Amino acid sequence: MTFHAAQLASLYLIYGLVGTAGGGLESRYRVGSLESGTLLCQAYEAYLELHAPVSISFEHTWFLLLALARRVELGVAGCDDCGGLQLRDLLAKHKQTCGNCQQGSPVPTR
C-alpha cells in the first residue's frame, strides 16, 4: 500500500497537481477546477495502468492529494538508502526507509 501511495505522489508531481516549494510540496490542485479534476483523473488512470488490481480507490487518491497539500501529517522525501521517492510521516520521530528497502527488494543503483 505504501509503495502504491508513493507512486501516486510521484504521479501528482508528474501531472502538476503538486509542485516542490521550500523543501516540501505545495498544492496546485484547485477544488472545483475542471482542469485540476481532469489532471487528478489522468493521474489515477495512469495509476490504474501500473497496477492490476489496484490497492487505492479514486476517493482515497483524492484524500492522499489533500493530505499532501496540507503538509501537516504527510509529506514526501527521498529514501536515505536508495534515493527513491517515499511518503513520510511528518510526525514520526524515527528514520524511515521506502517500501522497497523495507522489504529488501533489489533496487537499481543510480
Backbone φ and ψ for 21, nearest 5 degrees, come out as: -160, 125
Looking at residue 10, its pLDDT comes to: 86
Q: Which of 8-17, 50-59, 85-94 has the lowest mean pLDDT?
A: 85-94
pLDDT tens-digit series, residues 32-85: 788 888 999 999 999 999 988 888 999 999 888 888 777 777 777 777 777 777
DSSP string, 14-53: HHTSEEEETTEEEE---TT-HHHHHHHHHHHHHHHHH-SS
Residue 107 has pLDDT above 50, yes or no: no
Looking at residue 40, its pLDDT comes to: 92
What is this structure's pTM?
Answer: 0.72
